[in-house]
Structure 1
Amino acid sequence: MSQTLDAQQRIPDHMAGFRLDQVAAELFSDYSRERLKAWIKQGALTVDGVPARPRDRVHGGEWLALTVELEEEARFEPQDIPLQVVFEDDDVLIIDKPPGLVVHPAAGNPDGTLLNGLLHHCNALASVPRAGIVHRLDKDTSGLMVVAKTLAAQHALVEQLQARTVSREYDAVTVGQMTAGGRVDAPIGRHPGDRKRQAVNESGKPAVTHYRVIERFRAHTHVRCRLETGRTHQIRVHLAHLRYPLIGDPVYGGRLKLPAGAGDTLKEVLREFPRQALHARKLAFVHPSTGATMTLRAPLPDDLLMLLDFLRDDRETMR
């Protein structure tokens, strides 16, 4: 079974001078760069109706048109994985993802993922690329994700993400006591020495994170972050760049730091906290069919509530 993908995107003026394959990867981000390069070479992806080469430079303002037959993603097996559904209709599905659940199958995680659970939950998602997944959360980040149940809904949501009109807010608990909120405007790309990590990198993609302080503790801070862009590991990288890494972050957290005079219980909690302290708390977007603004919230999970309680107890004890 196959389905025709027929989509258009206008190249933003700020991408003038970029390679066509780079631009395509940005504007059609639901597909891999290699897959897009193959479509360019096949003539399935054109510039103002004319075939081009992946290495050709664009001027900005051109229209990319992609017309291709998508095969059903039958290689992924449906699996009965419990999903916490926050909202569902014929077009979209919003879930509250638990920590520990991988979003998409990959090397080391061939199954048992959110995608496998989505295919079990809704058979029709087998005909939508990536089972309707339009954005991701890291394995150990909890919170809200929107899934498109139709190809049309997927296109609409991807366009909103590219236009930066989807509002995404996160709660995070950082190491270090922040004095005030702010804005991080720093490009993110692959770490030059470790391809599994991201880093603030001048050759990376633009990335902007807004953050504000919710509650201060003796040596930690509860902050709320709003994404203006959606780069891989963006909040984790940006806050670590500010030298306020997330509690429990195994990649960007650095060496464990314990507050002076902390009790044994808090020390154990900080040592054993099993994941980065990050939760996607709020998601707002325009419904693909109705045009209504959808705003959904997910309460903090138990592990983060417990962590905040212990930090409050430590603060009160040491006053």
Structure 2
Amino acid sequence: MPEILNREARVLDAQAGQRLDQAAAELFGDFSRERLKQWILQGALTLDGAPARPKAKVYGGEILRLEAELEEQTAQHRAQAIDLTIVHEDEAVLVIDKPADLVVHPAAGNPDGTLLNALLHHCPSLSQVPRAGIVHRLDKDTTGLMVVAKTLSAQAALVEQLQARTVSREYDAVVAGVMTAGGKVDAPIGRHPKDRKRQAVVTGGKPAVTHYRVVERFRGHTHVRCRLETGRTHQIRVHLAHLRYPLVGDPVYGGRLKLPPGAADELKELLRLFPRQALHARKLAFIHPVSGEAVTFRAPLPDDMLALLDYLRDDSEGV
């Protein structure tokens, strides 16, 4: 039986001047903007208790109320038997350790073979949850922890935590260049002005904050640990490149390959051929949607990053 949605949210002062469909997409982030637009047109999503047009402006403080029947959300996607590394699972959430080369959600160029397809096979009831319970993403070649909501109520709770910036996400990264100390990047991110497939630090972009600290220094590289305050697309990759410490192996933001002078041939070859950005979501913490308790999960570094660090360490020690 289709589930009945009954949700309410207050438009934030910071959203003043936005279109109704834009504000709704931010406040009800577990639904696509197109779906929300349809609900607005149908009168299922109201503004201060009255129907409105998707283009209607909001000024802050209005109440958005969503009352709709939730039809199957993923009918166009098929379940596929794709191996998942499950770190934790209960009635409300699923925490996985995503491998490299796995796209999170179907899109142009990747119609299937994604995490969403794998989730539908692992837990068929996720067909009733928007985006099969996916509430945040990792890039295709970023490894590590993701939480998936198994119910609508769990999804709403996790999205609320993400919007309130109370979900703790920590990453390991290996960058080109030797950092002297950690710090914070507070720089807005938006579409690159010339390349629409890339993100960049731009005036007028969305607020983005990344904290970072040095774990280990090498002759020409640094092992860094990053903590996100916000979750913008490619945030760590963009912010570290902005500092001129791009991720090893980053095909988009990495720039020209830098090799330590006098490095062994094996290290040079590894750096040239490293197949992805050296980025791993190592730690994830949030409030469990059912128990209300703080939970924390960790995922060990994948083999490719461990090997990279070993080679860099040997190079620095002169082995």
Task: State whether structure 2 residue 47 is matched by structure 1 residue 47.
Answer: yes
Q: Distance in 2 between matches of 1:153 and 1:86?
A: 18
TM-score if structure 1 supplies the norm length? 0.96
Partner amino acid for 1:298? A
TM, length-normalised to structure 2: 0.96
Q: How far did 1:112 drift?
A: 0.9
Q: Which moved more, 1:14-23 or 1:129-138?
A: 14-23
Higher mean displacement: 20-29 or 123-132: 20-29
Instruction: Report the Cα offset of residue 98 of structure 1.
Output: 0.5
Residue 26 of structure 1 and its aligned partner are, at CA, apart by 1.6
The residue that corresponds to 1:239 in the other structure is 240
Residues 1:265 and 2:259 aligned together: no
Q: Which residue of 2 aligns with 1:123?
A: 124
Hey, what's the Cα distance between the residues in 1 that align with 2:272 and 2:141? Answer: 16
Superimposed CA distance per residue, residues 169-191 of structure 1 (whole angstroms, 9 cap, x where no aligned partner): 00111111111111111111111
Alignment of 1:107-146 (within 5 A): 107-146=108-147
Instruction: Work out the number of aligned pairs and report it.
Output: 318
Deviations 1:117-156 (A, max 9, x none): 1111111111111111111110000000001111111111
- Looking at structure 2, the residues matched to 43 and 177 of structure 1 have their Cα atoms a distance apart, in angstroms, of 56
Which region of structure 1 is more displaced relative to structure 2, 161-170 or 61-70? 61-70
Determine whether 1:177 maps to 2:175.
no
The CA deviation at 1:226 is 0.7
Q: Distance in 1 between matches of 2:201 and 2:6?
A: 35
Q: Distance in 2 between the 1:10 and 1:77 partners? A: 35
Residue in 1 aligned with 2:162?
161
After TM superposition, give the deviation of residue 194 of structure 1 in Å. 1.8
Q: CA deviation at 1:193?
A: 1.6
In the alignment, is the contact (CA less than 8 A) between 2:30 and 2:156 conserved in 1? no
Residue 27 of structure 2 is matched in structure 1 by 27
Q: Which runs of 5+ in 2 are unaligned?
A: none
SS at structure 2 position matched to 1:282: strand
Shift of 1:8: 1.7
- 1:21, CA displacement in angstroms? 2.3
The residue that corresponds to 2:285 in the other structure is 284
Q: Tell me which residue corresponds to 2:198.
A: 197
| 2:211 alignment partner AA | H
Q: How far, CA to CA, are the matches of 2:161 and 2:100 in structure 1?
A: 26
Q: Over aligned residue pairs, what C-alpha RMSD do you find?
A: 1.4
Q: Distance in 1 between matches of 2:211 and 2:57?
A: 32
Equivalent residue, structure 2, for 1:89: 90
Unpaired runs of 5+ residues, structure 1, are none
1-structure distance, mates of 2:192, 2:260: 30
Q: Give how far 1:70 is off.
A: 2.4
Residue in 1 aligned with 2:312? Answer: 311
Q: Secondary structure at the match of 1:55?
A: coil
Comparing 280-289 and 193-202, the one that deviates more: 193-202
d(CA) in 1 for partners of 2:269 and 2:57?
Answer: 55
Task: Report the Cα distance in structure 1 between the residues aligned to 2:7 and 2:85, rounded to whole angstroms.
Answer: 32
